Every structure is written in C-alpha cells, then in structure tokens.
Amino acid sequence: MGFLRAMPVLNVLSIDRSLAFYRDRLGFQGHGVWGDPPAFTIVQRGNVTLALDTHGGGQPTGGGWTAYLYVSDADALADELRSKGTVLASEPEDKPWNCREFEVRDPDGHLIGFGQDLVPERDGPGLGTERGLG
C-alpha cells in the first residue's frame, strides 16, 4: 500500500482571516468550511493541500517552517505573490541543498517555505545521495 499525498494541518486563530490570506494572497482555492462557528477548512493549489484548523489556538509549531511547498518556478511565484500584496519573509535565493527558496509568513505567524528543486531529474525533491541522504 503506497502513500498518496500529505496534508499539513496549520493551527490558526480565525478560519475567515486565514482562508482569505491563502486564497487572496497565495492563490489557493477553498474546499469547504466546517463548524459553527467555522473551525476547519481545506485549501488547495495544484497538487498541494493544506488544512487550516482553529482547535490548536493559532500557535505555530517551532521556529522554522510549518510547511514547505515545492514549486516549479520560485521566482515567478514570488512575483505573483508580491503582485497580490504579499510581503515575502525572505527573497528567492539559491541554497546549498539545490533548491531556490523563499518564505512567507501567514497571519498566524506560520513560516511557509516555497522551494524550486534545481536538480529535478533526481528521484524527487530532497532525495538522493547528492544531498547526503543516502
């Protein structure tokens, strides 16, 4: 039995505020809101799915990325997000692990990393001995 996909769940304070940010600033589409008052929603852009959930009280976990999303063109996406008024937490930059990355912080403080795999012909993002993994 194989794994099909992953859906990171981000703790948020307000479904309405967070859904608006992910939809209007990051270009995701909403796929329903559950609860009264709204407590859970799912957003998707391409093959990337995120859940937004108020049950955790809006606290981001740790100090690093809450989610890391692989994209086909980091510079084009950064330009698109800026055109929607999104402030980038870091600008696109090539990293030693062969990804071109930038970051966005959402209204609840979650740091979302966006990375373009600069060596896509390998087994997949983050895989292979080139990065010391195997």
**Measured distance CA(1)–CA(111) in Å, rounded:** 32
Query: 14: alpha, beta or left, given left = phi > 0 and alpha = psi -120 to 50?
Result: beta
Give 15-74 pLDDT, tens digit per residue. Answer: 999 999 999 999 999 988 999 999 999 999 999 999 999 987 766 666 678 899 999 999
Q: Is this structure's pTM higher than 0.75?
A: yes
Cβ atoms of 72 and 116 within 8 Å: the answer is yes
**Which tokens belong to 92?**
């696109």
**Measured distance CA(111)–CA(59) in Å, rounded:** 12
* DSSP assignment letter at 27: -
Catalogue all structural domains in the chain, each as residue range(s) with its CATH number: 9-119 (3.10.180.10)
